[in-house]
Structure 1
Amino acid sequence: MAKRAFVTGSSHGLGAHLASRLAGDGWKVTGLGRRPEAETPGTAGVDYIQADLSRPETVERLPALLGETPDLIVHNAVSYPPRGAQELSLADLDSVFRVNALAPYRLTLDLLAAKPDTRFTSVVVVNSESMYHADRDSGVYAASKAALRVLTTALADVCRSRNAGVATLLLGPLADPDKVEQLRRVAAGRGVDEAEITRIFLRKSNPDLVIEELIDFESCYRSVQYIADLGRAANGMVCRLDGGSAGSLI
């Protein structure tokens, strides 16, 4: 019988890749995202739920929609503050923190509580090294990711008595399609190699990096596989795939 996986933020980007690869490897996958299903890749083997994690009712009804607690839960959904906003309303702040930190925490607690003690569940929380580099433009997003990291630590304590394991996959700058295409256009406009433009971009935007290329989605998937395969040993683990951008002392 195929194992079951649940991936949030699966409508595009990294989440879509993770859901697709899991399905290709034989998992029965349920994905969740805010985009209409018609705007998703529509991967075979992935059942899609359109829902907004910033809404409390979404988190409350998801355990019933999923049925049995999945064998693997990947929290990948992410929300960013409105671009260009000089001041964020409390509603904006609440939405970002709900999606990025509160929903993964609450949903994991509910799913673990509904799980039979005889079945093991692996939880992978995708987080960002952005929490270490807050400024006036990124402070809210960074704070939500810092909150997620603290709440994940609390979940690790819960998992010890629930036959489960939760680990953080800490990511640096990803090779998402929009970013790659933007760098490609810049390289073409300047008549230089795309790899060189990428190196320049990373050095300027992430001076602590010890890598010179964006992190590809497939490396992220292999990291999820690695964490899931570790089972209980991964509980509380931080798997860093961030090129050292979190700093040498962390």
Structure 2
Amino acid sequence: MADRHALVTGACKGLGQYLAARLADEHWSVVGVGRCPADQVPPVPGVTYLQADLALPRTPADLSARLDSAPHLVVHCAAAYPAARPSGPALPDMEEVFRVNALNPYLLTLDLLARKPPDRFCSYVVVNSESIYSADRHSAIYAASKAALRVLTAGLAAGCRSAEASVSTLLLGPLADRAKLAEIETVAERRSLPPAEVVRLFLRRSNPNLVIDEFIDYESCFRSVRYLAELGPTANGMLCKLDGGSSGSLV
């Protein structure tokens, strides 16, 4: 099983780090890519960490050339958010968000597809966000970049037909990330409520379409990635929604 090679972007922390570690647990040989310097990333058994900044235009080609072997699975999990500025988003911030969230995952996938051996099947799972369905003045830039990613992913899938590859999307709702959980704990303590009750109230107020009372856990995300990878060519073009209904009834 050790001859299965996976590449995970955004692997220096959060969901990307978790997915890389879980793939290694299941005997994948994993390369994890992240913006953080290597000495700031705790070593994970079975995961080779590469520092690479997807905010830089040259990164897709450079990263593809650094890989020792063509992957059987690629999980795009890197994400960037615009800096909060009183005057509103600056153009360089917007360009960086679009490069990390949409343009460079697209270009990296194109480059990996071009380098893939013809007889090597590869699954590309692109992690996206339910934010594409709604946005406010605070989230509009991030949501727009994720909407661009969704359209680019659909184009990649169309190009992978009969090409020994599949490109699918895992669309996620509210995640149980560390920062969010810490904030919930603070609110729960301040209001003398159980954390689960604070989560329930937050989810019901933040999005009326949600039909879940808990954040989406990382392990459920991993099982969804594994499911898409195991589907093989059938997953090409597939949209797997793990969003708690946040995208609405008819979408």
- Asked if TM exceeds 0.5, the reply is yes
Tell whether the 8 Å contact from 2:168 to 2:228 is kept in structure 1 after alignment: yes
Q: Which residue of 1 aligns with 2:129?
A: 128
Tell whether the 8 Å contact from 1:81 to 1:92 is kept in structure 2 after alignment: yes
> How far, CA to CA, are the matches of 1:217 and 1:86 in structure 2?
35
> How far, CA to CA, are the matches of 2:250 and 2:40 in structure 1?
42
- Count of matched residue pairs: 250
Are 1:95 and 2:96 counterparts? yes
Q: Which residue of 1 aligns with 2:213?
A: 212
- Report how far residue 57 of structure 1 moved: 1.6
**Cα RMSD between the aligned structures?**
1.0
> How far, CA to CA, are the matches of 1:190 and 1:226 in structure 2?
40
> How far, CA to CA, are the matches of 2:147 and 2:239 in structure 1?
13
Q: Which residue of 1 aligns with 2:235?
A: 234
Q: What code does the residue aligned with 2:60 have? A: V
Aligned counterparts, 1:32-181, within 5 A: 32-181=33-182
> How far, CA to CA, are the matches of 1:247 and 1:41 in structure 2?
39
Q: What code does the residue aligned with 1:86 have? A: S
Are 1:193 and 2:180 counterparts? no
Q: What is the SS of the residue equivalent to 1:56? A: coil
- Report how far residue 41 of structure 1 moved: 2.8
Tell whether the 8 Å contact from 2:72 to 2:121 is kept in structure 1 after alignment: yes
Tell whether the 8 Å contact from 2:9 to 2:75 is kept in structure 1 after alignment: yes
- Report how far residue 141 of structure 1 moved: 0.6
> How far, CA to CA, are the matches of 1:163 and 1:223 in structure 2?
21
Q: Return 5+ residue gaps in structure 2 as ranges.
A: none
Structure-2-length-normalised TM-score = 0.97
Q: What is the SS of the residue equivalent to 2:231? A: helix
> How far, CA to CA, are the matches of 1:166 and 1:235 in structure 2?
5
Q: Return 5+ residue gaps in structure 1 as ranges.
A: none
Q: Which moved more, 1:31-40 or 1:107-116?
A: 31-40
- Report how far residue 182 of structure 1 moved: 1.1
- Say if 1:85 and 1:60 are closer, same or farther in 2 by CA, change over 3 A: farther
Q: Which moved more, 1:52-61 or 1:149-158?
A: 52-61
Are 1:222 and 2:233 counterparts? no
Q: What is the SS of the residue equivalent to 2:182? A: helix
Q: Which residue of 2 aligns with 1:246?
A: 247
> How far, CA to CA, are the matches of 1:122 and 1:233 in structure 2?
10
Q: Which residue of 2 aligns with 1:28?
A: 29
- Say if 1:111 and 1:134 are closer, same or farther in 2 by CA, change over 3 A: same
- Report how far residue 242 of structure 1 moved: 0.2
> How far, CA to CA, are the matches of 1:68 and 1:109 in structure 2?
16
Q: What code does the residue aligned with 2:70 have? A: T
Tell whether the 8 Å contact from 2:52 to 2:63 is kept in structure 1 after alignment: no
> How far, CA to CA, are the matches of 2:93 and 2:186 in structure 1?
32
Q: Which residue of 1 aligns with 2:8?
A: 7
Q: What code does the residue aligned with 1:11 have? A: C
Identity %: 57
Structure-1-length-normalised TM-score = 0.97
> How far, CA to CA, are the matches of 1:192 and 1:62 in structure 2?
47
- Report how far residue 85 of structure 1 moved: 4.4
> How far, CA to CA, are the matches of 1:85 and 1:154 in structure 2?
36
- Report how far residue 191 of structure 1 moved: 1.3
Q: What CA deviation, in whole Å up to 9, does each residue of 1:156-215 have, x standing for no partner?
A: 011114210011000000000111111012112211111100001111112210001000
Tell whether the 8 Å contact from 1:16 to 1:41 is kept in structure 2 after alignment: no
Q: Which moved more, 1:103-112 or 1:39-48?
A: 39-48
- Report how far residue 78 of structure 1 moved: 0.2
> How far, CA to CA, are the matches of 1:49 and 1:116 in structure 2?
23
- Report how far residue 231 of structure 1 moved: 0.3
